[in-house]
A = this chain, B = another copy of it.
Amino acid sequence: MIRSIHESPLYRIVNPRSIAFFGASNNFSRMGSIMLSSVQALGYEGAIYPVHQTEQEVRGLRAYPDVPSLPEVPDLAIIVLPTEVVCDTLEACGRKGVKQAIVVSGGFREAGPEGARLQKDLEAIADRYGIRFLGPNCLGVANPHLKLNPTPITAEGPPGFVGLASQSGSFITQMFNYLHRHGMGFSAALSVGNEANIDIVDCMEYLGACPNTRVIALYVEGIARGEKFIETARAITPHKPIVALYVGGSEAGRRAGFSHTGSMSGPNEIYDGVFKQCGIIRAHTLSELFDYSLALGTLPRPRGNRVIIQTHSGGPGATAADSCGRAGLTLPSLSAQTLEKLKPLIPQTASTANPVDMTFSKNPMDDFYKIPDVLLQEENADMLMVYFLSPGIFIDRVMRDLGVPAESIAAEGEKLIKQQTDAFFSLTRTYDKPIVGFTYRSLQEQMVRNLLELGVPIYQDPDRAARSIAAVIAYYKMRDHVSAK
């Protein structure tokens, strides 16, 4: 294990001060051009040197005809060239003294025996010059904290805490939008491609040491260095959670993975066993991978598995209870003390069995502060799960009733929602208990969106919320187990 992030071969690949770009031109339909445009869009502040045989300028940047003419030795070479010129380019980089590269180009091991031979040549060149590289057949890295995104799709949303190491490039480049909508962002994302020189274990090790990464997410089609994987993961999970989506377990998934990156996969049971002994939480879908990452990256450690569900609708409360039951969570009864404190806040029709179903709101302003505040004080419970309908609906109603003029309702509503958001969010700072939300409405509605941006996990189904809480509990349980060994 590395003792510092600076020891990782990935350090200057993820944090380059300067980049030589091969394959970008003024023809925008080329992959290289698209990738360079993403880098420019996010505002990377290091030096960028496009290398192009004929163009003087590429996308507004001074271009260089070849490697020797580069004005300095760049930290990183990004190569998006036709397969047949990749080896020569890496060789030229090596001669210049370049020590890090990303080889985006495909046509290597994944393309058959001839490609595999070419990949051997590439590896030999790297070894000769002491170059460390990601790929070939990968989409490289994204480091939003450095405003660096050399992937083909423009980044969205602020930098975050999810560190992804992926055997699929798509999940680096195509997930910015997904993560942003769900209240997350990448700390760093690494696409390993054919893993000729740097593999997913190196990436995991890097992310383990990365200070911006609170949770490591892995997308795995097959692991080659099994022992090293286990050793590295076991060193990380006692201080940082790892969630892994492994798709090679089913026959169909296995075949798909093989034709994708040529990786060798194994039966589900073997991977289940490996993950378990490493303290890694397994996800079965991409949604689970990021649902669990969100909870693990935002929630404090739960003291137990006892949940209070707060709702103002019976059905959503019952589905949440059912999901909690299935996820191994329990619903304790409220103590006499809590019932006493709740009484003035809820109508007579309310049910104070757990789920706490307010049926309707006596005062809608209490829904997101006074009531959860009381519920969070309950000694018989370890967590709070809250159903979010759309406070906008209630607020509109109250304001109309108070005679607020129609034209002021939107602005006043926004202000009130902001107040409620802040009040609810303050509870996550007051109590050291996990607070999770669920809604059947869009995550983009104002209050939910505000809370997501503040780091309160809210899910689109109580089942996803319950299973994410269960993942957090499972992580800490496994962590105790791994640490004890």
On A, residues with C-beta under 8 Å from B are 27-29, 31, 34, 106-107, 111, 153, 166-171, 174-175, 177-178, 181, 219, 221, 245, 247-253, 255-257, 259-261, 284-287, 309, 313-326, 329-331, 349, 351, 353-355, 357, 359-360, 389-390, 393, 397-398, 400-401, 440-442, 460-463
- Chain B residues whose CB sits within 8 angstroms of the CB of A323 once the complex forms: 285
In contact, B250 and A28 (Cβ under 8 angstroms): no
In contact, A314 and B175 (Cβ under 8 angstroms): no
- Interchain Cβ contacts under 8 Å between A and B, 19 examples: A31-B360, A111-B349, A168-B315, A170-B314, A170-B315, A170-B316, A221-B318, A249-B322, A252-B329, A252-B330, A253-B321, A255-B331, A256-B314, A256-B355, A261-B314, A285-B461, A285-B462, A286-B319, A287-B460
Task: Give the Cβ gap from A280 to chain B, nearest Cβ, in Å.
Answer: 17
If A314-B261, A349-B106, A441-B177 touch, whether A463 touches B29 (CB-CB below 8 Å) is no
- Chain B residues whose CB sits within 8 angstroms of the CB of A167 once the complex forms: 315
Partner of A181 from B256, B319, B442 at Cβ < 8 Å = B442
Partner of A353 from B169, B259, B330 at Cβ < 8 Å = B259
Partner of A357 from B107, B178, B250, B259 at Cβ < 8 Å = B259
- Chain B residues whose CB sits within 8 angstroms of the CB of A351 once the complex forms: 259-260
Partner of A170 from B253, B286, B313, B354 at Cβ < 8 Å = B313
Q: Which 8 A-B pairs have the closest CB atoms?
A: A168-B315, A250-B325, A253-B322, A170-B313, A260-B314, A252-B325, A256-B321, A247-B322
Task: Give the Cβ gap from A409 to chain B, nearest Cβ, in Å.
Answer: 12
- Chain B residues whose CB sits within 8 angstroms of the CB of A401 once the complex forms: 27-29
If A285-B463, A393-B153 touch, whether A322 touches B29 (CB-CB below 8 Å) is no
In contact, B169 and A314 (Cβ under 8 angstroms): yes
Task: Give the Cβ gap from A80 to chain B, nearest Cβ, in Å.
Answer: 12
In contact, A318 and B253 (Cβ under 8 angstroms): yes
If A178-B441, A440-B174 touch, whether A321 touches B247 (CB-CB below 8 Å) is yes
- Taken together as a complex, chains A and B put the C-alpha atoms of A251 and B34 apart, in Å, by 54
Given A174-B313, A256-B331, A256-B353, 7 new contacts (CB under 8 A): A28-B401, A174-B389, A177-B442, A178-B440, A247-B318, A284-B326, A284-B463
Nearest residue (CB) in B for A315 is: B168
- Taken together as a complex, chains A and B put the C-alpha atoms of A287 and B320 apart, in Å, by 12
Task: Give the Cβ gap from A158 to chain B, nearest Cβ, in Å.
Answer: 18
- Taken together as a complex, chains A and B put the C-alpha atoms of A181 and B44 apart, in Å, by 36
Nearest residue (CB) in B for A83 is: B349
Task: Give the Cβ gap from A127 to chain B, nearest Cβ, in Å.
Answer: 27
- Taken together as a complex, chains A and B put the C-alpha atoms of A309 and B247 apart, in Å, by 15
If A111-B349, A353-B255 touch, whether A219 touches B315 (CB-CB below 8 Å) is yes
Nearest residue (CB) in B for A390 is: B177
- Chain B residues whose CB sits within 8 angstroms of the CB of A181 once the complex forms: 442
- Chain B residues whose CB sits within 8 angstroms of the CB of A247 once the complex forms: 318-319, 321-322
- Taken together as a complex, chains A and B put the C-alpha atoms of A27 and B34 apart, in Å, by 58
In contact, B322 and A286 (Cβ under 8 angstroms): no
Partner of A324 from B177, B252, B261 at Cβ < 8 Å = B252
